[in-house]
Structure 1
Amino acid sequence: MAGADLWISAFLDAQAAEQGSARNTLLGYGRDLQDFADWLTRRGQTFETVERDQIEAYLIACEAEGLSRATRARRLSSIRQLFRFAYEDGRRTDNPAIQIKGPGRAKSLPKILSVAEVEALLTATRTSGRNPSENLRNICLMELLYATGMRVSELVGLPVSAARGDPRMLLVRGKGDKERMVPLSTPAREALVVWLAFRDKAEDVARRECGTPPGKHLFPARGRAGHMTRQAFHGLLKDIAAAAGINPARVTPHVLRHAFATHLLAGGADLRAIQTMLGHADIATTEIYTHVLDERLKELVLEHHPLARDAD
């Protein structure tokens, strides 16, 4: 497996250097390619020798395992990019994956929450947490997420320096290390000010009593990353959803990101402005929210327009 490991390592290094791929993206590539490498090894094949029909056989095996269409499409994308890199880098004289057609992604509109449901989540957050520290932190997390539409990794990894000085806007570092400015709502700014004051006071006490150095992140934690993990926030959000009387299965950080964008669009915000705030490279990605809004408007008409009701 040493040969496969070297290929994967070189590919990931190139992606990081040339494409500026985010850490989570690189981890995803690595997992996909390691699974493919293991499958090849069990059949006496390597990245140097594999041919198109064997790649197609691997994809068939993935489908037989019950993997979703999206997962199979992602794995094929990882394989395609690996062999494109190998061809350009001179590791192979051909690209065995270039003509393989994937399953594609099932087209579906993003799941969202209504304004009333988001308000219920924010209300439930006010009484969350096991102590005042967790309570103020949770309020700040939720207000910032809904006010900015940040990705969860961007939210939990925010540096404390970004929050200094009662900012009207936050500097967010997104995918590919690209930076963007996102405006803050009044509730988000107020929650940020209160949390930051509490956090700084707690750090001052820890420094005086234990010699603990100040943390670099707005939401510090004891783990290796030094900040709250995505997994921890996912769990917190499920608990808040349950307390708000909303099915936890419907609530994820990305669903709140979708809600942020859709609610802005419904309120008359410009699509380009939403694109900038979300950090989308292509406005076509942002345009999906116009379809979400169209579907919601159709539902409202069918539910409430007298002529749309079935005759008694």
Structure 2
Amino acid sequence: MGVRLDASVDAFLDHLRVERALSPHTVAAYGRDLAKLVGFAEEQGVTRPEDVDLGLFSGWLSSLAHSGLGARSAARHLSSARGLMRFLLREGVLTADPTTQAARPRSGRKLPHTLAEHELVRLIEAPDASTLRGLRDRAMLSVAYAAGLRVSELVGLTLADVDFERGVLAVTGKGGKRRLVPMGEVALEHLEAYLAARDEEQERTAVLFPSPRGGRLTRQAFWKIVRRTARAAGIRGSVHPHKLRHSFATHLLAGGADLRSVQLLLGHSDVATTEIYTHVTRDHVRRAHQRSHPRG
């Protein structure tokens, strides 16, 4: 059992305080930044430094941007994380620094690139549909993108949360808030195909997407599913669950959905949080102008 990530942060802060003699204010700033990293990692089931990788850092930076953090502040968070990783390298806890490939957040780019629609089709169709696990993975990816779910919302779904007749999910979001989200015909078909096969091969469980043992699938397990499937689909770059949610919102706005509707579907309490997704491509804006303006 290796050292825990939160304990590593404490050791790093002690190093800054004692050996580098940084001011209490500076050490506290490092602590706040790294507490967010630890919290995000724990949400994904990562508690040890050696399990932190580039995909987790990309997801963390994405979540910071999603919360409205500016590029300069996000860059400071990344700098704090890099300081921690370099410290752990020197201490022999790590053998490589996972932050070396992480791109520095730039002004004007609030979110990492989303997946193109053709990439999402490849991702969702990549699992082997001749196996129960492949059917489950395809259904999870399909539902996650179709409904724009957070990882915790996806793995927390039960059979009772699905209205098969209307094709709607009852999702429990942050703070226990419930919302209804349509999932579309394709995701519903993928879900029904998986459940039909599951009824034949696996003991019945209330969990919608159980592990092979029948319990609730962990967040980290879904992260691994996404990364493994993206590699199989030949999709380059970092692909993580947040990217499916970002793609959901971006594609809706690009297709003409209004901001308020996207806010409700995502479960944002403040529309300002949703406005981060108005980074729709300039081509789309130009096409909308050409279609709608009398002199376009």
Q: TM-score, normalised by structure 1?
A: 0.59
| CA distance, structure 2, for counterparts of residue 298 and residue 221 of structure 1 | 43
- Which residue in 2 is equivalent to 1:237? 226
For the residue of structure 1 that corresponds to 2:110, the secondary structure is coil
- Which residue in 1 is equivalent to 2:123? 121
CA contact (8 A) 1:167 1:189 kept: no
Could you list the per-position Cα deviations for residues 87-137 of structure 1 after superposition, in whole angstroms to 9, with x for gaps in the alignment?
Answer: xxxxxxxxxxxxxxxx72345322201112112212323xx37x6211211
Distance 1:38 1:135, change over 3 A: closer
- Which residue in 1 is equivalent to 2:42? none
Distance 1:191 1:166, change over 3 A: farther
CA contact (8 A) 2:136 2:209 kept: yes
| CA distance, structure 1, for counterparts of residue 176 and residue 8 of structure 2 | 25
| CA distance, structure 2, for counterparts of residue 38 and residue 57 of structure 1 | 10
For the residue of structure 1 that corresponds to 2:181, the secondary structure is strand
Q: How does 1:61-100 map to 2 (within 5 A)?
A: 71-72=33-34, 74=36
- Which residue in 2 is equivalent to 1:215? 205
Distance 1:245 1:40, change over 3 A: closer
| CA distance, structure 2, for counterparts of residue 237 and residue 120 of structure 1 | 12
| CA distance, structure 2, for counterparts of residue 256 and residue 57 of structure 1 | 35
- Which residue in 1 is equivalent to 2:73? 104
Distance 1:180 1:31, change over 3 A: farther
For the residue of structure 1 that corresponds to 2:205, the secondary structure is coil
How far apart are residue 53 of structure 1 and its match? 4.7
Q: How does 1:285-304 map to 2 (within 5 A)?
A: 285-290=273-278, 292-295=279-282, 297=284
Distance 1:57 1:234, change over 3 A: closer
Could you list the per-position Cα deviations for residues 1-32 of structure 1 after superposition, in whole angstroms to 9, with x for gaps in the alignment?
Answer: xxxxxxxxxxxxxxxxxxxxxxxxxxxxx976
- Which residue in 2 is equivalent to 1:57? 27
Q: Does 1:152 align with 2:151?
A: yes
Amino acid at match of 1:276: L
| CA distance, structure 2, for counterparts of residue 275 and residue 104 of structure 1 | 24
CA contact (8 A) 2:125 2:138 kept: no
How far apart are residue 294 of structure 1 and its match? 3.8
| CA distance, structure 2, for counterparts of residue 172 and residue 133 of structure 1 | 24
How far apart are residue 274 of structure 1 and its match? 0.5
- Which residue in 2 is equivalent to 1:274? 262
Unaligned stretches of 5+ in structure 1? 1-29, 45-51, 63-69, 78-102, 207-213, 301-312
For the residue of structure 1 that corresponds to 2:179, the secondary structure is strand
Q: Does 1:260 align with 2:248?
A: yes
| CA distance, structure 1, for counterparts of residue 286 and residue 110 of structure 2 | 14
Amino acid at match of 1:178: K
How far apart are residue 288 of structure 1 and its match? 1.2
CA contact (8 A) 1:166 1:193 kept: no
| CA distance, structure 2, for counterparts of residue 134 and residue 72 of structure 1 | 36
Distance 1:41 1:113, change over 3 A: closer
Amino acid at match of 2:252: L
Could you list the per-position Cα deviations for residues 267-297 of structure 1 after superposition, in whole angstroms to 9, with x for gaps in the alignment?
Answer: 111111101111111111111111x214565
Residues matched between the structures, number: 217
| CA distance, structure 2, for counterparts of residue 270 and residue 299 of structure 1 | 17
CA contact (8 A) 1:36 1:58 kept: no
For the residue of structure 1 that corresponds to 2:73, the secondary structure is coil
CA contact (8 A) 1:149 1:257 kept: yes
For the residue of structure 2 that corresponds to 1:104, the secondary structure is helix
CA contact (8 A) 1:140 1:195 kept: yes
Amino acid at match of 1:109: K
For the residue of structure 2 that corresponds to 1:199, the secondary structure is helix
Distance 1:34 1:180, change over 3 A: farther
| CA distance, structure 2, for counterparts of residue 42 and residue 298 of structure 1 | 48
**In structure 1, which of residues 246, 270, 278 is the aligned counterpart of residue 235 of structure 2?**
246
Bigger Rg over Cα: 1
| CA distance, structure 1, for counterparts of residue 126 and residue 210 of structure 2 | 23
| CA distance, structure 2, for counterparts of residue 297 and residue 109 of structure 1 | 18
Unaligned stretches of 5+ in structure 2? 40-71, 76-106, 288-296
CA contact (8 A) 2:16 2:27 kept: no
